[in-house]
């Protein structure tokens, strides 16, 4: 095998010497390649879909170059053209992460051409894999003749010891440290076409499904048990609370054998997770927004941490502005047409960075939190990290002045003026502002001391200790002198949740239904998976926030119990199956098409990884007095013999209805369960059964149908003869426990009775004006209320034939 690792700097020279020895063969051959299936791992290798799936090598900041489509193709209508190369590594790149495997052999082919007039007569090119960090391996080489398409053909075997958690293929010219000294030789434009990497089929991705019950029945924290989410930021809109979170699940990779994931790597995270609820206990999973990265809404950003969101009417249109940290170096914003998107980027560069006036001295220009004042003026709070070394150690520790406030433009995607210092004591990060009764509240996370903050120090009396949420109260949104400090609003979460749950925190505050709520995170789900040795995967929590008469905040106590459910769940509608109070053993995935519940452009998810014994549950569902008669589920069967069972109040409670998932495998269809005895308020458990060891089905949405409400009434109809004419007599007895209105209708007349008392009769005898009548029908219409709901019951009964004749 001829794999060569090269460091971007030192190691690379030695590696290239070895590459040089291989040039005679034109490619790098594996000694005994593993026999591979005939699968091409490269997508759009012929560039016939333009630049889809391709991007310019952005492995280091200096690799900037331009990638465009060109009609000068080796085959088909398109090829790729790379121009404005600044390093030898500047070239077209495709991410093969998750596709290539260690120990496997692959065959690589591609066509390449350069034409620069002042370039050399021949030029060597490499196909190279970037395995992350400084690890690059040249895979295949070709020496091209100027103006002619040259062909890469070679095999390479990935060493069994090579980590492939990052594997990005790109094309380049041989490395040299200062290519700008001879750009004609090193930095020529080139064209690429017909790229293929053929080998073993990509491995099935390892399951990320969380098998433990991460949110215990009856408890309301963490908010969800089937995935992680950090730095939650609450937004209230149209009677729902939306929570936007750093997608901690993105890099979660539990070992298939041990179940333990490597520690969280924030560099993996470029998505924001969204969940929402109208009751603060049952949460709907809206999936992830692909914010950053090559395929992100804002592809000029790399990461999306610590979201902050607000809404504002701009030019007559209500829009949603989602701010996020692009790593530690900058902050950015994307725009949503609704809280669930669709999302667009109005900017082509980051919103907050080193050029932002007043932010120059901020070490970490991250954690952006928006706030729109009552007069419509928007503000952004951001910043954190080490204090300036120019300060005396005590000041660096106690008043690091590392957080800023700045006015946003009316468009919400620009800043105005100069950022002002927020002099928050012992500040670290996570600034956030809300307003209550004319006062502004700034909360933030405090630092843990150490070299970044002037070494070992004692906080001033009353100042927060490490990893706490402190707060300040001010009369102005841009005025935060240290004197506005008001205390610690939340101690470190490990005080409440114990070993393995420490670390820094990130909070938000929102008002919902007249109460204030405090959001924070804690790795409590991680702890339920792995015990006290957690790997840093955080989960969202909410507690109520209460105030003293003087406006100060009562210190929040973190609990698994969480907050009260603010309203019962309404089952009589279509609602997404990805809505849980609690769950076990399931995962969710985004599917094509819109949400049946949220409509518009809202994403839709389905519940997957449903095995025998898995379940999902809803808290405090109100079926009303008359109850539900049927459950409808939209399902896609994946195996024969699956069932959805409906149980009340406990996962082992009696089954009150069963839907057989007997629909064609692989197709979406509706199944129903007839229900018995489901009325009043209950927790509802959907328990899933079927053959063991296979995924049974996927679930999209549910709907309960209310039982038909009926007012009890006893109707009799008879005929009799009076003075030579036949009469039809109708009697209706009110069997309900409250008065009802009764209307009796016959072909011979109609009569209404108001407020017929319980057990009383409405009676009317109608003259047919005929000697004889044949049998016919009469209609009795009863209106009243059942459980506060207006109900009309209609009864049609037969009367017999009647005659006065002999
Ligand atoms: Ca082509
Ligand atoms: Ca499962
Ligand atoms: Ca759904």
The tokens for 607 are 């519940």
What is the distance in angstroms between the CA of the first residue and the CA of the last residue of the chain?
A: 116
Segment holding 124, helix H or strand E: strand 122-130
Peptide bond into 222 cis (omega under 30): yes
Ligand approaching nearest to the C-alpha of 606 = 3
Using the mean position of ligand 3's atoms as its centre, give its distance from the Cα of residue 623 in Å.
22
Least confident stretch, 194-198, 622-626, 773-777? 622-626
**Amino acid 61: pLDDT:** 60
Using the mean position of ligand 2's atoms as its centre, give its distance from the Cα of residue 307 in Å.
30
Q: Residues 294-327: pLDDT tens digits?
A: 899 999 999 999 999 999 999 999 999 999 999 9
Question: Residues near 583 by Cβ (< 8 Å), separated by ≥ 6?
Answer: 213, 215, 224, 225, 226, 614, 615, 616, 617
What pTM was computed for the model? 0.76
Using the mean position of ligand 1's atoms as its centre, give its distance from the Cα of residue 52 in Å.
12
Q: Residues 683-728: pLDDT tens digits?
A: 999 999 999 999 999 999 999 999 888 899 999 999 999 999 999 9
Least confident stretch, 431-440, 505-514, 620-629? 620-629
- pLDDT for 17 beyond 60: no
Integer-rounded Cα radius of gyration of the chain = 34
Using the mean position of ligand 2's atoms as its centre, give its distance from the Cα of residue 640 in Å.
17
Could you give the domains of the chain?
Answer: 39-199 (2.60.120.260), 228-554 (2.115.10.20), 574-706 (2.60.120.260), 713-803 (2.60.40)
Using the mean position of ligand 1's atoms as its centre, give its distance from the Cα of residue 20 in Å.
30
C-beta atoms surrounding 741 within 10 Å = 17
Q: How far apart are alpha carbons 171 and 79 in whole angstroms?
A: 14
Ligand approaching nearest to the C-alpha of 192 = 1
Q: Once rounded to an integer, what is the mean pLDDT over residues 130-136?
A: 89
Q: How far apart are alpha carbons 488 and 520 in whole angstroms?
A: 14
Number of Cα atoms under 13 Å in the Cβ half of residue 131 = 19
3-state secondary structure of 496: helix
Q: Which residues are in the CB-under-5-Å shell of ion ligand 3?
A: 576, 604, 700-701
CB contact burial 759-787 (16+ within 10 A = b; e otherwise): eeebebbbebeeeebeebebebbbbbebe
Q: Once rounded to an integer, what is the mean pLDDT over residues 763-776?
A: 95
Using the mean position of ligand 1's atoms as its centre, give its distance from the Cα of residue 204 in Å.
29
pLDDT confidence bin for 625, thresholds 50/70/90: confident
Ligand approaching nearest to the C-alpha of 70 = 1
Q: Determine which one of 231, 452, 578, 609 is catalytic.
A: 231
Cβ(671)–Cβ(657) under 8 Å? Answer: no
Using the mean position of ligand 3's atoms as its centre, give its distance from the Cα of residue 97 in Å.
28
Cβ(649)–Cβ(619) under 8 Å? Answer: no
Using the mean position of ligand 1's atoms as its centre, give its distance from the Cα of residue 70 in Å.
9
CA distances from 452 to 388, 396, 427, 431 (A): 9, 8, 12, 19
pLDDT confidence bin for 14, thresholds 50/70/90: very low
Chain centre to alpha carbon of residue 97: 22
Among residues of the chain, what percentage have pLDDT more than 90? Answer: 88
Residue 397: what are its φ and ψ, rounded to 5°? -75, -55
Ligand approaching nearest to the C-alpha of 580 = 3
From the list 288, 280, 284, 415, the residue with the least C-alpha distance to 358 is 415
Using the mean position of ligand 1's atoms as its centre, give its distance from the Cα of residue 155 in Å.
22
Ligand approaching nearest to the C-alpha of 614 = 2
Ligand approaching nearest to the C-alpha of 45 = 1
Q: Which residues pair with 155 in a beta bridge?
A: 107
Q: Once rounded to an integer, what is the mean pLDDT over residues 770-789?
A: 92
pLDDT confidence bin for 112, thresholds 50/70/90: very high
pLDDT confidence bin for 787, thresholds 50/70/90: confident
Q: Residues 453-469: pLDDT tens digits?
A: 999 899 999 999 999 99
Q: Once rounded to an integer, what is the mean pLDDT over residues 760-782?
A: 95
Q: Which residue do the tokens 């009260």 mark?
A: 564
Q: How far apart are alpha carbons 14 and 10 in whole angstroms?
A: 8
Burial of 91 (0-12, 13-18, 19+ CB in 10 A): buried
Q: What share of the chain is helix, strand, coil (3-state, %, to 5)?
A: 5, 45, 50
Whether 231 sits among the annotated catalytic residues: the reply is: yes
**Amino acid 133: pLDDT:** 83
Using the mean position of ligand 2's atoms as its centre, give its distance from the Cα of residue 210 in Å.
8
Q: Which residues are in the CB-under-5-Å shell of ion ligand 2?
A: 585, 609, 611, 614
Using the mean position of ligand 1's atoms as its centre, give its distance from the Cα of residue 275 in Å.
42
pLDDT confidence bin for 10, thresholds 50/70/90: very low
Ligand approaching nearest to the C-alpha of 193 = 1
Ligand approaching nearest to the C-alpha of 696 = 2
Cβ(725)–Cβ(799) under 8 Å? Answer: no
Using the mean position of ligand 3's atoms as its centre, give its distance from the Cα of residue 785 in Å.
35
Q: Determine which one of 279, 429, 578, 609 is catalytic.
A: 429
Using the mean position of ligand 3's atoms as its centre, give its distance from the Cα of residue 286 in Å.
9
Segment holding 106, helix H or strand E: strand 105-113
Using the mean position of ligand 2's atoms as its centre, give its distance from the Cα of residue 493 in Å.
30
């Amino acid at each position: 095998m001829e794999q060569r690792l090269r460091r971007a700097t030192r190691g690379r020279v030695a590696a290239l010497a070895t590459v040089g020895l291989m040039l005679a063969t034109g490619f790098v051959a594996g000694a005994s390649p593993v026999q591979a299936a005939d699968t091409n791992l490269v997508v759009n290798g012929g560039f016939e879909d333009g630049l889809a799936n391709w991007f310019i090598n952005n492995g280091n900041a200096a690799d900037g170059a331009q990638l465009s489509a060109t009609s000068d193709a080796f085959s088909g209508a398109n090829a790729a053209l790379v121009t404005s190369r600044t390093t030898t590594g500047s070239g077209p790149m495709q991410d093969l992460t998750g596709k290539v495997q260690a120990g496997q052999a692959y065959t690589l082919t591609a066509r390449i051409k350069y034409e620069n007039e002042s370039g050399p007569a021949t030029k060597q090119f490499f196909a190279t894999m970037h395995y992350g960090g400084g690890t690059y391996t040249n895979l295949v080489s070709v020496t091209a003749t100027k103006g002619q398409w040259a062909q890469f053909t070679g095999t390479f075997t990935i060493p069994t010891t090579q980590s492939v958690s990052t594997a990005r293929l790109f094309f380049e010219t041989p490395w040299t440290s200062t290519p700008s000294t001879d750009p004609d030789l090193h930095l020529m434009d080139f064209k690429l076409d017909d790229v293929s990497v053929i080998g073993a089929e990509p491995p099935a991705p390892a399951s990320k499904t969380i098998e433990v019950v991460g949110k215990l029945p009856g408890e309301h924290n963490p908010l969800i048990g089937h995935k992680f989410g950090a730095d939650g930021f609450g937004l209230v809109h149209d009677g729902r609370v939306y929570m936007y979170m750093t997608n901690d699940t993105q890099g979660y990779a539990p070992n298939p054998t041990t179940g333990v994931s490597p520690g969280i790597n924030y560099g993996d995270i470029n998505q924001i997770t969204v969940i929402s609820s109208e009751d603060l206990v049952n949460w709907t999973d809206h999936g992830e927004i692909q914010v950053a990265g090559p395929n992100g809404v804002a592809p000029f950003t790399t990461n999306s941490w610590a979201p902050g969101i607000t809404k504002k009417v701009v030019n007559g249109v209500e829009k949603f502005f989602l701010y996020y940290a692009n790593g530690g170096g900058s902050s950015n914003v994307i725009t949503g047409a609704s809280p669930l998107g669709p999302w667009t980027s109005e900017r082509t560069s980051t919103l907050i960075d080193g050029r932002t006036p007043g932010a120059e001295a901020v070490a970490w220009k991250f954690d952006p939190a928006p706030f729109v004042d009552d007069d419509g003026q928007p503000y952004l709070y951001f910043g954190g990290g080490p204090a300036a070394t120019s300060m005396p150690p005590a000041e660096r520790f106690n008043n690091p002045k590392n957080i800023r406030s700045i006015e946003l433009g009316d468009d919400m995607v620009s800043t105005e003026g100069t950022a002002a210092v927020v002099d928050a004591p012992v500040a670290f990060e996570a600034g956030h502002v809300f307003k209550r009764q004319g006062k502004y509240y700034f909360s933030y996370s405090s630092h843990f001391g150490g070299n970044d903050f002037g070494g070992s120090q004692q906080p001033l009396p009353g100042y927060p200790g490490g990893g706490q949420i402190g707060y300040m109260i001010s009369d102005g949104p841009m005025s935060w002198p240290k004197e506005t400090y008001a205390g610690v609003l939340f101690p470190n979460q490990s005080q409440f949740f114990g070993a393995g749950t420490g670390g820094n925190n990130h909070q938000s505050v929102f008002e919902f239904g007249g109460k204030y709520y405090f959001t924070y995170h804690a790795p409590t789900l991680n702890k339920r998976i792995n015990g006290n040795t957690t790997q840093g995967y955080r989960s969202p929590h909410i507690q109520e926030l209460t105030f003293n008469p003087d406006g100060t905040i009562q210190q929040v106590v973190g609990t698994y119990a969480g907050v009260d459910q603010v309203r019962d769940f309404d089952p009589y509608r279509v609602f997404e199956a990805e809505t849980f109070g609690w769950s076990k053993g399931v995962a969710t995935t985004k599917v094509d098409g819109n949400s049946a519940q949220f409509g518009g452009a809202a994403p839709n998810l389905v519940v997957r990884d449903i095995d025998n014994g898995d379940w999902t549950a809803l808290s405090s569902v109100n079926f009303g007095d008359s109850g539900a008669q049927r459950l409808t589920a939209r399902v896609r069967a994946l195996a024969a013999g699956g069932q959805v069972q409906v149980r009340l109040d406990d996962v082992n409670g009696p089954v009150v209805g069963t839907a057989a998932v007997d629909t064609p495998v692989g197709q979406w269809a509706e199944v129903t369960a007839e229900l018995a005895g489901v009325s009043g308020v209950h927790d509802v458990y959907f328990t899933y059964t079927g053959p063991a060891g296979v995924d049974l089905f996927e679930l999209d949405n549910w709907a309960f149908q209310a039982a038909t409400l009926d007012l009890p009434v006893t109707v009799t109809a008879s005929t009799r003869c009076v003075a030579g004419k036949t009469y039809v007599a109708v009697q209706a007895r009110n069997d309900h426990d409250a008065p009802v209105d009764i209307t009796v209708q016959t072909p011979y007349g109609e009569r209404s009775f108001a407020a017929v008392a319980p057990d009383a009769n409405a009676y009317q005898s109608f003259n047919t004006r005929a000697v004889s009548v044949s049998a016919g029908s009469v209609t009795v219409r009863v209106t009243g209320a059942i459980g506060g709901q207006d109900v009309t019951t209609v009864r049609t009964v037969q009367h017999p034939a009647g005659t006065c004749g002999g």
